[in-house]
Amino acid sequence: MKTVTHRQMRNDSAEILRAVADGESFLVTNGGQLAALISPPSDRPLDRSKAQGQVRPARRSVADLSLIERPEIQAHQRRTRRRCPASLLICYLDTSAAMKLLVKEPESGGLTRYLQAGAAEQELVASWLLHTELRCAANRYPDDIDPDSVGIVLDTVSLIVTRAC
């Protein structure tokens, strides 16, 4: 990735935009500070949302999910949900699945192994609502859900900011 100054961008914009159209990306500085990233548009909706600042990218590796100690609690039995096929590039994590990463349920270990096995092939995403729901659960059940573990789960997921209708 090349770096250009604001002045270079202004003076050579046609040349730079042709290079971007050919797949090249540029960092633009202004007064020595990074001001912009110019890159070709992506075909993936998630990449476009990231570029528009609508996604808080994951801050940790899915492998960090193994760091969570899950206390045994009495939770009602739920049927196993459909698993995300490994061929997909994006895997959506809902709140019920995320809770299995925080408390010991019959599916907890399998879900952790599944997510870690597909970590290189897929990106784990969730609605920003997951942040609220997991934090509320940790506040409601402080003896069962460790707030630091909630942070680990949230940091392994790219959170999508949804817009009000």
Instruction: Give the residue from 101, 86, 89 showing the smallest Cα distance to 125.
Output: 89
Q: Determine the average pLDDT of the residues in 108-120.
A: 80
Instruction: Tell me, yes or no, whether 153 and 127 share the same domain.
Output: yes
Instruction: Tell me, yes or no, whether 66 and 134 share the same domain.
Output: yes
Of residues 15 and 41, the one with the higher pLDDT is 15
Total domains present in the chain? 2
For the domain that residue 17 is a member of, what is the CATH number? 3.40.1620.10
Q: What is the pLDDT of residue 55?
A: 81
Mean pLDDT of the chain: 81
Q: Determine the average pLDDT of the residues in 18-28.
A: 89
Q: What is the pLDDT of residue 14?
A: 94
- Do you know the residue count of the chain? 165
Query: Domain limits at 19?
Result: 2-40
In angstroms, rounded to a whole number, what is the distance separating the alpha carbons of residues 153 and 68?
9
Instruction: Tell me, yes or no, whether 6 and 73 share the same domain.
Output: no
Contacts of 11 (CB under 8 A, 6+ apart): none
Instruction: Tell me, yes or no, whether 67 and 146 share the same domain.
Output: yes
36 and 136 in contact (C-beta within 8 Å)?
A: no
Which class for 43: exposed (0-12), middle (13-18), buried (19 or more C-beta within 10 A)? exposed
> In the predicted model, is pLDDT for residue 131 greater than 80?
yes
- Could you please report the per-residue DSSP string of the chain? -EEEEHHHHHHTHHHHHHHHHTT--EEEEETTEEEEEE-PPPSSHHHHHHHTT-EE---S-GGGGGG----B------PPPPPPPTT-SEEE--HHHHHHHHSB-TTHHHHHHHHHHTTTT-EEEEETHHHHHHHHHHHH-TTTS-HHHHHHHHHTSEEEPPPP-
pLDDT tens for residues 40-81?
887 777 777 777 777 878 888 877 877 777 666 544 444 444
58 and 124 in contact (C-beta within 8 Å)?
A: yes
Instruction: Tell me, yes or no, whether 91 and 121 share the same domain.
Output: yes
Q: What is the pTM of this model?
A: 0.54
